[in-house]
Chains A and B, each alone.
Chain A
Amino acid sequence: MWTYLSRRLIQGIFTLLIITILVFILTRLSADPLAQYATNPNMTAADRQALRERLGLNQPLPVQYLKWLGLALQGELGKSFFSKQPVSLMISQRLPLTLILMVTAQIITVLLALGLGIISAVRQYSITDNIVTSLSFIGFSMPIFFIALGLMLIFAVQFKLWGLPYLPTGADIWSTKDPLQLIRHLVLPVTSLVLIQTAGYARYVRTSILEVLGLDYIRTARAKGLTERSTLYKHALRNAALPFITILGLDIPYLLSGALVTESIYAWPGMGRLFWEYAQRGDFPVVLGVLLIVSAAVVFFSIVTDMVYTLIDPRIRLS
């Protein structure tokens, strides 16, 4: 167990290192951080050159990367080129609200997907299964911006114009400290995310359960006189859960990265917007900082997922 953990951690560190190198190269090659100053008539060529030197952008790319890495190893993510604020502060300002949005959506998604997946599997090819499958595909194929804007136009704009109880657009000023306001503002973005995400998860659950339900030990359980409910929940679901948990474990880190489109449409001040706004400007300390945290979470949760396997399936041993 400990050997396995040590090995995975060392692998994880190398993975992170490679990810940061790739992201650094891609970010630096995709946008010049000083490009936005190119047409500023108030800056002379000398000003731009001086700024380039101050930001260290005149140094060779490997030197720029190693300087960033040296700081990161000391727990410093550097400062944004543009806001001049510490990246860690900027992330800490956005992360809580992203987690609130994404975790809420994820919980509802998982519960719904489990329910719909089980119903579809148990009632395979029934009308219910066909309806769930059809709705799943509709949700799966819808672009998130379409769903998010559609929900906003109906439940925020039209409901208000019709004099019905309505939900906020997100363009209003509200306090995250007020739980009621928080809940009201969560409804539409969470619904948008749930509608998009549930479909995929529900299909995983359905397929996994269907595979398990055809196995010998389920037939044996039924032959021994166990109720269908007991067979399904105590025997089938436990074994069918492994692939689902794998997907879930790999998806959890992305809760940290936020949902760019949903956050933008509902003016939700989360990590997705932070990343996108600064990536567009080539502010690589912010981009690398966000990606480092998400990548670290991917590595961490993939290890946690492996741990969870052993809890769910005693046949699995880590060595």
Chain B
Amino acid sequence: MNRKLFALLAVLILASVVLSACGSATPTEAPATAAPTEAPTAAGAAACKPAGTEPIAFPAGGKSVTGAWSQEPDNIVPYYTQMSYAIWITQLTLVGLGEWDDKGAFVPELAADVPTADNGGVSADGLTITWKLKPCLFWSDGEPLTSADVKFTWQSIMDPKNVPLSRVGYDKIASIDTPDDQTVVIKFSELYPGWQTLFTQGPNNSGAILPKHVLDGKTGLEKDPFTHQPTVFSGPFAITEWVAGDHMTLLPNPNFYKGRAKLDQVQIKFVPDPETALAGLKTGDIDWYPDFSESDIPTIKALEPNIHLLVKPGFDFEHYFFNLGTTAGVTLPDGTVVGKSDVDGFCPFKDIRVRKAITLGINRQAIADTLLNGATKVPATQWPNSTWTNASLTPDAYDPTTAAALLDEAGYKVGADGIRAGTCDGKPVKLSFNFETTNKQIRVDAALAAQSDLKKIGIEFKPIHTPAGTFFASYTDGGNMPLGKFDMAGYTTGFYPDPMTGVLDSYSCSAVPSKDSPSGTNNYHICDPKLDDLMKAVNASVDPAVRKTALDAVQKYIFDQYYVVMMYVRANVYGYVDRFVPASFSFTSNMNWNAEDWTVK
């Protein structure tokens, strides 16, 4: 029997070995690149020569670092993915015309300067933006990187045969002219104040310029081999090996516009478990890990001086909000009815005193101090840590006494069961409602803290935790938020790098989801015509000063109306070993923005 049983197992082993040999766990080596076939045609072309035609090989004893990321990028071309990890790898390998630096300033990358009204880059009517590229730009294979690549990038995004996730902004471009290899003249069909987010590297968007000489003529770019086996690069590094599910190896791009990167090699290992990453940091297997959570802060702090902790609060914020949906909608002065929801929200939330009482009744600072280990703060507005923040606003302090008084004033008295009750629209109602969010541990803990705080002022706050895939489901997939089947809800979001990115889709009357408008994304079900007007004013100019004043008004209005409960700013928590010098972190909490300056001690 044993022999037969073992023979069966032996066959299995043999099969596994054969499969192993056949499987494509084999690294996808970057193919050898050809020498450039033509020289740049710009002025001074004779002086422009690429420094090389392929990535610089790793020398013996070279400087190498290994990072660990919790997830693998699903794609290298950012127009076809929204994964943070895909945007990160793009920052290392495919750059754009500009980016945001560690001070929050918008600075040029492939461009020579940021277009402004003063340098003639922004036309008087704001409809034409002229970019000038740096001279002598080359792809990693030695081919010239020119204005034609920028135009091709736009054309590929707009090509109906390609399926990018979004064409936002790019669809407002009427034409792109390239009078010479260094000049890109973008003409918009309508005012687009967020033009800086196009063809540039942002914290949650990447406008990498694509190589025309490699991709021209191809369609269905979202599934082109280039998305997983890119062959040319414009960033500081080139991907030379990508073992599916395991790791990537990057070597310096000889033609990077700032010159050769300081490191000779960067490797990225995909490590899903933070405990393993921590073990890897301790043993020196990895040099940095960017995916720790706020709860890991004490653990990493204890590992000083061998392992350093870096906490960078970002632009994302956790917020709780009220379902303000109304089946009647809002009637505008011209008689038009807008903002209809399928379901009415929880009636007491229509009263600003109830919304304010809930805001004052949750000890948000205590949640930030304890559950988030003091890594972050309670923000006043939806634009935290940004140059766009309305600095005159400060978050309300925890004040249960005032909260209780507000509820008394609103007619909600504490009953025998400890829960307040009153009337709303003539109907009796108790201040007992559901709060829906995801099942992430920090959210479970924060909701418990809020529940305890609100109970003290006579509010029954009942958390419901669902997996993110269900919680964020769309209207057609039965998501409670778009359907309006919730009382309060909470999640993390952020509006950047342009301050109006996604804002109109979040708060406008026209974006309220309903059976007539199932694709609406106004999860708050807010329809406030005054807020609509204030938001539109921000997008009525390309002048940053004018926009800032208008956005200040938007922030003040939302703040005064207590439409949302701002809970805490999300922080990025990094751990890195002492030998690794990761240069400066960008304003947008991202360490990959200047990978060319990374080095080791």
Contacts and interface: CB of A to CB of B under 8 A. Distances in A.
Contact of A107 (B13, B20, B244): B13
Contacts of B327: none
Interface string B1-39: 110110011001101110111111110000000000000
A86 to B, nearest CB: 9
Given A85-B223, A93-B24, A97-B25, A45 B520 contact: yes
Contacts of B471: 35
A32 B470 contact: yes
A31 to B, nearest CB: 3
Contacts of A177: 26
Contacts, number: 251
Interface string B270-300: 1111011101101101100000000000000
B243 interface: yes
A176 B241 CA distance: 13
A264 B273 CA distance: 6
A157 B400 CA distance: 48
A175 to B, nearest CB: 8
A269 B245 contact: yes
A54 to B, nearest CB: 5
Contacts of B228: 83, 85
B283 A157 contact: yes
A26 B13 CA distance: 33
B487 to A, nearest CB: 19
Contacts of A237: 1-2
B453 interface: no
A32 B518 CA distance: 15
Interface in A80-129: 80, 82-85, 89-90, 92-97, 99-100, 103-104, 106-107, 110
A43 B282 CA distance: 40
B56 to A, nearest CB: 19
Interface in A35-87: 35-49, 51-52, 54, 57-58, 79-80, 82-85
B168 interface: yes
A172 B285 contact: yes
A147 interface: no
B8 A308 contact: yes
B167 A47 contact: yes
Nearest to B286: A171
A21 interface: no
B145 interface: no
A99 B66 CA distance: 27
B13 A37 contact: no
Interface residues of B, number: 88
Contact of A39 (B165, B246, B476, B492): B492
A241 B71 CA distance: 43
A41 B249 CA distance: 31
Nearest to B494: A41
| Most central of A100, A103, A171 by chain B CB within 10 Å | A171
Interface stretch (A197-205, A217-225, A275-283): A275-283
Contact of B501 (A30, A42, A48, A103): A42
B204 A40 contact: yes
B479 A99 contact: no
Interface string B53-87: 00000000000001010011011000011110000
B495 interface: yes
A139 interface: no
A180 interface: no
A152 B204 contact: no
A265 B273 contact: yes
A280 B469 contact: yes
Interface string B496-524: 10000111011000010000000111000
A255 interface: yes
Contacts of B472: 32, 35-36, 38-39
B310 interface: no
Interface string A244-257: 01001000100100
Given A43-B168, A267-B272, A173 B267 contact: yes
A217 to B, nearest CB: 16
Nearest to A38: B472
B585 interface: no
Interface string B474-491: 101101010000000001
A309 B473 CA distance: 49
Contacts of A38: 472-474, 479, 481, 521
Given A48-B519, A82-B74, A282 B166 contact: no
A94 B12 contact: no
B12 A252 contact: yes
Contact of A273 (B5, B272, B277, B286): B272
| Most central of B472, B492, B494 by chain A CB within 10 Å | B472
A103 B245 contact: no
Contacts of B24: 89, 92-93
Contacts of B2: 237
A267 B245 CA distance: 9
A285 interface: no
Contact of A172 (B249, B286, B477, B520): B286
Nearest to B492: A39
Given A93-B245, A169-B285, A172-B66, A267 B23 contact: no
B222 interface: yes
A312 B269 contact: no
A34 interface: yes
B267 A44 contact: no
B246 A107 contact: no
Contacts of A280: 467-469
A142 interface: no
B559 to A, nearest CB: 20
A311 interface: yes
A153 interface: yes
Given A85-B223, A96-B16, A96-B19, A36 B468 contact: yes
Contacts of A99: 12, 15-16, 19-20
B283 A31 contact: no
A49 B81 CA distance: 16
Interface in B512-558: 519-521
Nearest to A249: B8
B271 A274 contact: no
B185 to A, nearest CB: 24
Contact of B25 (A48, A176, A238): A176
B269 A267 contact: yes
B205 interface: yes
B23 to A, nearest CB: 4
Nearest to A43: B166
Given A45-B520, A97-B25, A104-B13, 10 more contacts: A39-B491, A41-B503, A52-B476, A82-B81, A85-B228, A94-B25, A161-B283, A169-B280, A173-B247, A308-B4
14 contacts: A30-B469, A41-B493, A41-B502, A41-B505, A43-B168, A51-B163, A57-B476, A97-B23, A100-B16, A166-B283, A176-B20, A241-B1, A266-B276, A267-B246
Interface of A: 30-32, 34-49, 51-52, 54, 57-58, 79-80, 82-85, 89-90, 92-97, 99-100, 103-104, 106-107, 110, 149, 152-153, 156-157, 160-161, 166, 168-173, 176-177, 237-238, 241, 245, 248, 252, 255, 264-267, 269-270, 273-274, 277, 280-282, 304, 308, 311-312
Q: Which A-B residue pairs are the 5 nearest by beta carbons?
A: A41-B502, A31-B469, A171-B280, A269-B245, A99-B16
